[in-house]
Amino acid sequence: MWYAIIGQDVPNSMNQRLAARPAHVARLQELQRQGRLLLAGPFPAVDAIDPGAAGFTGSLIIAEFSSLSIAQDWAKADPYVAAGVYAEVRVQPFKKTFPQ
């Protein structure tokens, strides 16, 4: 099943994000290699693709896991969690409808 992982950043998270990004991206690339990543990306803090100094307010990952508890465990092990980027992480089932 697909699961949405929504991370909400702490204020001024950019330095922590940059430091933890290589390890965070490596985990996403592994999901992609396994064919289990639907999409992933950050939420810009301003209405721009490159928010510059404004940074990001969080991230969305939609990936396939065999259960909610496994998705939650994967999310808890994210380098952004360990680096203090995320103030909160929510994991919930997601039903992909479009595109087909």
Q: What is the pLDDT of residues 17-54, one digit of tens each?
A: 999 999 999 999 999 999 999 999 999 999 999 999 99
Which pLDDT score, from 0 to 100, does residue 34 have? 98
Which pLDDT score, from 0 to 100, does residue 77 have? 98
**Stretch (H or E) spanning 97:** none
- What confidence category does residue 100 fall into, taking pLDDT thresholds of 50, 70 and 90? confident
* Edge-first strand listing for the sheet containing 56-64: 37-44, 56-64, 2-9, 86-94
CA distances, 68 to each of 26, 32, 34, 82, 96 (Å): 22, 19, 18, 20, 16
Share of the chain above pLDDT 70, in %: 100
